[in-house]
Structure 1
Amino acid sequence: MNEQNEFLEITAGAEGKRPTVSGMAYSGGKMRLPGWKFPVVVDLAGMTIPDTVPLLADHNNSTASRVGVISAKVENNQLVISGEIVAEGDLASGIVAQGKAGADWQLSIGADVQDAELVKGKRTVNGMDLEGTFYHVIKSTLREVSVVAVGADSTTKMTVSAKFNLKGEVESMNENEKKVETAAQENASVQAAATVPATVDTSAEVAAQAARSERERVVKIKAICNGEFDKIEAQAIEEGWSPEATTEKVLAAFRTKQPVTAVNISVKKNDGPNQKTLEAAMCLRAGIDENTVVKDYGEQAVEMAWDDRDMSIRALMGECLRLEGMDVPRRFDNQAIQAAFSTVSLPGILSNVANKKLLQAYEAQPIIATKLCTTGDLNDFKEADRFRLTDMGDLLPVAADGEIKEGGLIEESAKNQIDTFAKKFCLTRKMIINDDLGAFLKVPVAMGNRAARLVDQLFFSRLLANPAQADGKALFSAAHKNLLTGATSALSADSLKKAIELYLDQTDADGQPIAVEPRYLVVPTALKHLAIELTRGATLVMSGGTDNVVRPALNVLADENLQVVSSPYLANSAYTGASSTGWYLFGQPGTVDTFEIGYLKGRRTPTVERGDLDFNVLGMWFRVFFDVGVREQDHRGIVKANGAA
C-alpha cells in the first residue's frame, strides 16, 4: 500500500555528486485505498523496514523506473526517508528537472500487508486516537518508496506542497534539456557579441549581420526542439521567438509529456483471489460459521471471499492452477483433475476445510467423559506411569525446644496409554464432476461425531469393566470402600444418602478423609427422571407402610447440588458389565483424580490430513486420525451402586 507525504526535498548534487532526496513518506493517519471498503491505517510499530529501500517512479516495478536508493525510519510516529537519486535516465532527470522548473512532488510508500484487522470502535495507532470503522494494518513490510505527483488527500489532510532546494547544475539532466540549456547559452553569447559596436557601419554589413543572426536563431530553435516539438519549432521560427522563449515553451511541453503518477495510495493486490481468500470462500460455502471464518482468516479475506462463496469445485481447481503459474486446461478431464491435485494449494484448501467441518461436528457433539475426567498429555504411545503426590501425617504441635517435626509425601502411581484411531475418505472424480462438495464434507462431519463418541466409548468401556488396580483389587470393591451392593442399593432416597455417606468417608493414604464432596450422579437413561426427582424436588412424599414412619417433608438431597448425568452406554449390552440399574457418584475433576483422558502432546481434537495420489483412484484421499486413551487413576472419589441384588 502507498501513501503520499507532506514534505519532499530534492537537492541536486554539486559537481561529481548525486542528487539527494528526503522527506516524510507517511504521516500515520487514515488513508483511502482502492479495493478496501473502509479507510486504512498502517501501524508503523508493526512495519518491517529493510536497511535499504528502492526509490521508484510512480510505483512502477521495472528496472527503468528505479531512480534511487533510500533508507527509512520511524520518527515521532511518522515514516521519514533519505537517500540518493542514482539513475541517469529520463525519469530520474525529469524528476530533478521538473523540480527545478517549479513542479511539486511528493513521496509514496509501497508495502506488503501480513496482518490486518477491521476496527469498529476507537483505537490508538501511531500515537493518534482514531475512530472506526477502519482497517488496522498490524504487520507490514516496506518494499519501496516512490516519487509521485502532488495531490490532495482529504482523509489524511496531506496538502503541503513539495519543497525543492536546487544547487548548481544537475548531472542527470537528459539530453533534450542539455540541448535546450546549451542553445540558450550560445544564443546569449551571440546576443552579447552583437552589442559590441562595429568598426565599419555600412548598410550591407548591417544586412549581412541581420541575416546571420536570423540563421543562427533558426538553427538554435531547431536544436532546442530537436525534432520532437515540430509545432513549437514552426511557430517559433514564424513568429520570431527568441531562443529563450522557445526554451521555456519546450520545457513546459516536456513536463506535460512525463508520466502522471497516481495520487494518494495504491494497494498491491493479485489480479485474482489468493489461497487465503479461496479457502475462506470454501469455508463459507461449506457452512462454517462466518464469525469463525473471520477469526481464522481476517475481515478483509472474508470480505473478498464473500462473492466467491458459490465457487464450484471446478472453478476452485482452475484458480489453484493459476495461483501456481500453471496453465488451466480447456477441457475438464482426468488430466485436468490430476494437474489440479498436483498443486500445493488445492489439497491444502480441501483438507483445511474438511478439518474445520470435522472440528465443528466434534465440538457440537456432547461428550460425557470430559465432565467426569481430568485430561493429561503423553509424549508417546507406550504405557505411561501417572504419578501423584499424597501427603502423609497431620500438623503437629511445636515442642518446647522449637523443633518442627518432619512430614512427608509419598508417590502413588497409575497408568495411562493412548492409541491411534483413524479412517480415510476420498474426494472422487464423480464428486468433482458433479460439483458435490456437500457429499465430500458429509464424511468429515460424520467422523467428527464419531471421534466425539469415541472418547465416551473408551471411558464407559473402562468404567463398566471394573478393572483390577495396582493393589490387585477391582476398581469398585469392598476393599476400596466404594461399592454398594444388594437390593438396598437400588436408586432411592435412602440408597443415595448411603452412597453419599460412603463417598464422604473415603480416606487418603494416611487414613484421613479426602474431604471432597460428590458432584455428579451418573445413571443409565432408565433412571434419569428418578434421579432428577430425587436431587431437585423441594419435598419427598413418602408412602405409608406397615411401620407408618413419619418423616419430614424437606428433601435434604436437593442441598447436595448433585448434577444428574445420564448415558445410554451404561445399559448397552455391547459393553461388558453394562447394567440398567447400576449408578455412580463422581467428584469434580481436578479436585480428585478419578479417570484421565490422555492425548498425544496436547492435541485434543482429531486431525484431517491429505494423502498421496492413488493411481488406482481418480480423486484425492484424506485421512482422519485421533490419538487418545482413557484410564482410571484412583478409586477414591468414585462410588458405585449395583442397584440390584
Structure 2
Amino acid sequence: MIQAQAKTKTQATELAFLCPLQIKAASGEDQSMPRFEMVAYTGGLMQVEGFDFPVVVDLEGLDISQQQIPIRLDHQARQGVGHTSTVDIQNGELVAEGLISRDTSWARDVAKSGSNGFPWQASIGASVIRSEFIPNGHQVEVNGQSFDGPIYIVREASLREISFVDSGADTKTSARVAAKKADDETAETKEDEQEETEEEETASDDVNANQTIQAMRSQIAGESRRIEAIRKICGDDHRDIEAKAIEEGWDTTKTELQVLRASRPQVPAMITTDRPRDANVFEAVAMMNAGLQASRLESLYTSQILEAADKLRGIGIQEFCELACGQQLPRFRRDASGWLQAAFSTTSLPGILSNIANKMLLEGYNYIEDTWRRICKIASVNDFKEHSRYRMTGSFKFEQVGADGELKHGQLDEQKFGQKADTHGIMFALTRQMIINDDMGAFTDIPRQIGMGAAEAIADAVWGLLLRNPPQADGHAFFSNDHKNLKTGNDSILNVDGLTAAEILFGQQIKPNGRPLGIQAALLLVPIALKVQAQLLMNSLQLNETTTANKAKPATNPHVGKFDVISSSYLSNNSFTGASSKAWYLFADPNRLPALEVAFLNGIDRPTVEKTDADFNTLGIQFRGFIDFGVREQDYRGALKMKGEA
C-alpha cells in the first residue's frame, strides 16, 4: 500500500506498498538468525491512499542506494526487526533477502509468528521524487507491462526501508516461515526421550509385522476375486470395459451396469446447435462486427468468450437477436411488430443491446483527443444550479500571536468564479431499416459516432472558450495586458528567449493583496506546428541558436525538463475564433490554480446510455445517449498566452 499526500514531480512523497515474502531458517554462518526472502513489488497496479487513480512504480527509476537497509515492523523506526543483505530487480520484480538481526520484541514476534505459519506480508517505504499522470484513453508501458490511463506512474523514487505488515489490499500475496532449528538443550532432551521408547517399539515390531503381512495377503486375495468376477461379466465382447473396470477399481455392480448399457441397440444421435448462454458472448460478437482491434477485444473479454464469439462472427442482426433471446422469433418481413414484441419481451435482449450501445459509445468517446484534461481542473457538481468557486486572496496568511494568545480569524474574500453543468445528448435507434437490412454493423457504428460526438462537445467547449478569450467581470479579456498574462511581439516567439520571458511574466503574478502568487507554471501548451520545437526545448541539453548582438548564447539549455509539453490540434483549427498556429501557453497545475474548469454532474465524466420507448411513428427500439457537464474560465492568473508573432 502506498501512503502518499503529494504527487507533484518536485515534492518528495513517502510511500509504502505490500509484497509477498518468505522467512526461512538461517544457514551457513549463523544458525541463530532466521533469513527472509521476499518479492517486494511485482511491477503492477496498486490502489493507493492519497492517489485518486491506480499507481505503478517504474522500477527503472527506483534508486537502491545500498544493499543493507533497515527492516521494521509497520514502518515504525523504533520497531526494528533486522536488515537486508541483498536488494535487486529481477524479471520486472523487486526482490530482497536478509536477516532478522535485531534483538527486539518485534523481531522475536515476527520470527516466532512466521515459524508458526502466520502469513506475514511486507511493505516498502520509499520517497517519491517524480510522478507522472497518464490520462484516460492513453496507454503506457512500464516494467514490461502495458497499462491504460487514468493512472499515476512513479518515475523516480528512493528506497528507504522495508517493513513487515500483517495484512494488505493484495489478496494474492502470501508468506511462509520455516521453523527454526531447536537449540542444543532441547535436541538432547528429545534424543533421551527417543532412546527410552526405542526398546518398547522394538518389542512390538514383530507383532505389527505379522499383522501387516496378514492384512496384505487378505487384500491380494480380495483383489484377485474382484478381477475374476469382472472378467466373467465382460466376457469376450467388452474387453474395453474390463480393462477400465480393473484399472479404476469398479465393483461388480458398476461393471454389470456398464455392460448392460453397452449391449443396448444404438439410435442415431440428435443433431443440436450450440447456443451461447453468456451475454458477454453476444456483446463480443457485436464488438467483432464493429471492427474493434484484437488487442482491445482481449482486454474486454476472456479467451473462452472470444472463442465462442468468433464462431458467430458476421451474423446478421435478426439471427443475433434470435440467439440472444434463446427462442425462435417471427419472420420480421411478415410481422415486424410481432418480431419486436417477441424480441423485447425477454429480459436478455434489451439488456444486451443496451450494454453493446454503452460500450460502443465509450469506444467512440475515447477516440477523440482529450488533451483538455491536462490543463483543466476536473470537478463535480450535484445539480444544475450555478455554483461558486473561491480562490486564494491572501486573507489566510498566518499572523503572529500576541501576548494574550488570541488567534485572528481568516476572511473569505469575495473573489469567486462561477460553474454550471448542462445536459448534452442525442437519440439513436435500432430501426426497421437496420433490421430488414440485417446489418449489425450499422447498429454498433451509430453509438460509436455518438460517443465521438460527446467527446467533441467537451473538446469544442473547452478549446472554444480558451481561444475566444472572453471578457471577465472586470471588463478585461481573460488573456490581456491588464491581467499581466498576455505577451505579443517578437519576444513572444517560442524559443529560449521567449520561454524565459514567459516564465518571468508568469512568476510576477500577485494575489489581490499584492503578495506574490507563489505558484509556478507546470505545463507548456502548444499547437501541432510547435510541438517539435517545444519538445526540443524540454529535452535538449545543448542549444544551437544563432548569436544575438554579436554575443554567443550559452551552449546549455536552461529550460530542459521544466515543463510538461501538451499539444492539441484544436489550437490552430480555423473553425475556432482566435485559432493560431503560432500562439502558445503556460499553465499552472490545474489542481493547484485552475485557469479552466470542467465540471461533471455527480462526477460522471463519460456518456450514459438508456433504452427508451420508441415514438409512435418509429417502428424500432430507441436509445438515448447523454452527458452532463459545464466548462467555465476560473482564475486568469493560472495561465499565460504568448502570441508568437514574428
What CA distance in whole angstroms lies between the structure 2 residues aligned with 1:375 and 1:122? 34
Match of 2:556 in 1: 554
Quickly say closer, same or farther: Cα 1:288–1:610, change in 2 above 3 A: farther
Match of 2:439 in 1: 436
Displacement, 1:530? 2.3
SS in 1 for 2:560: helix
Displacement, 1:558? 0.9
The reply on whether 1:611 has 2:612 as its aligned counterpart is yes
What CA distance in whole angstroms lies between the structure 2 residues aligned with 1:297 and 1:533? 41
Match of 1:167 in 2: none
Residue pair 2:361, 2:450 contacting (<8 A) in 1 also: yes
User: Pick from 517, 532, 535: which aligns with 1:532?
Assistant: 535
Quickly say closer, same or farther: Cα 1:598–1:537, change in 2 above 3 A: same
What CA distance in whole angstroms lies between the structure 2 residues aligned with 1:424 and 1:618? 14
The reply on whether 1:314 has 2:318 as its aligned counterpart is yes
The reply on whether 1:592 has 2:586 as its aligned counterpart is no
User: Pick from 355, 368, 373: which aligns with 1:370?
Assistant: 373
What CA distance in whole angstroms lies between the structure 1 residues aligned with 2:588 and 2:437? 53
Quickly say closer, same or farther: Cα 1:617–1:383, change in 2 above 3 A: same
Which runs of 5 or more structure 2 residues have no equivalent in the other structure? 1-170, 175-256, 258-273
Displacement, 1:406? 4.4
Quick one: percent identity of the two aligned structures?
Answer: 39
Displacement, 1:400? 4.6
Quickly say closer, same or farther: Cα 1:539–1:347, change in 2 above 3 A: same
Match of 1:250 in 2: none
What CA distance in whole angstroms lies between the structure 1 residues aligned with 2:600 and 2:357? 22
What CA distance in whole angstroms lies between the structure 1 residues aligned with 2:386 and 2:296? 37
Residue pair 1:524, 1:581 contacting (<8 A) in 2 also: yes
Quickly say closer, same or farther: Cα 1:300–1:539, change in 2 above 3 A: closer
Q: Which amino acid aligns with 2:614?
A: L
Q: Which amino acid aligns with 2:455?
A: A
Match of 1:622 in 2: 623
What CA distance in whole angstroms lies between the structure 1 residues aligned with 2:428 and 2:542? 55
User: Pick from 505, 508, 511: which aligns with 2:508?
Assistant: 505
Quickly say closer, same or farther: Cα 1:526–1:320, change in 2 above 3 A: closer
Displacement, 1:280? 5.5
Correspondence list, 1:85-234, <5 A: none
Match of 2:638 in 1: 637
Residue pair 1:415, 1:631 contacting (<8 A) in 2 also: yes
The reply on whether 1:572 has 2:576 as its aligned counterpart is no
Instruction: Return the TM-score normalized by structure 2.
Output: 0.52
What CA distance in whole angstroms lies between the structure 2 residues aligned with 1:568 and 1:276? 37
Correspondence list, 1:227-266, <5 A: none
The reply on whether 1:466 has 2:442 as its aligned counterpart is no
Instruction: Return the TM-score normalized by structure 1.
Output: 0.52
User: Between Structure 1 and Structure 2, how many residues are aligned?
Assistant: 378
Match of 1:176 in 2: none
Displacement, 1:622? 2.7
1:523-557 per-position Cα deviation (integer Å, ceiling 9, x unaligned): 22222222223332212223235x30133211101
Match of 1:475 in 2: 478
Quickly say closer, same or farther: Cα 1:403–1:427, change in 2 above 3 A: closer
What CA distance in whole angstroms lies between the structure 1 residues aligned with 2:641 and 2:554? 28
What CA distance in whole angstroms lies between the structure 1 residues aligned with 2:638 and 2:172? 51
SS in 2 for 1:543: coil
Residue pair 1:391, 1:408 contacting (<8 A) in 2 also: no
What CA distance in whole angstroms lies between the structure 1 residues aligned with 2:312 and 2:613? 28
CA RMSD of superposed structures (Å): 3.6
SS in 1 for 2:413: strand
Match of 2:351 in 1: 348
Residue pair 2:491, 2:501 contacting (<8 A) in 1 also: no
Correspondence list, 1:323-342, <5 A: 328-329=329-330, 333=334, 334-342=336-344
Residue pair 1:282, 1:353 contacting (<8 A) in 2 also: yes
Residue pair 2:488, 2:644 contacting (<8 A) in 1 also: yes
What CA distance in whole angstroms lies between the structure 1 residues aligned with 2:172 and 2:409? 59
SS in 2 for 1:579: coil
1:463-499 per-position Cα deviation (integer Å, ceiling 9, x unaligned): 1111122333221122222111233222222121111
**593-602 vs 270-279, which deviates more?**
270-279
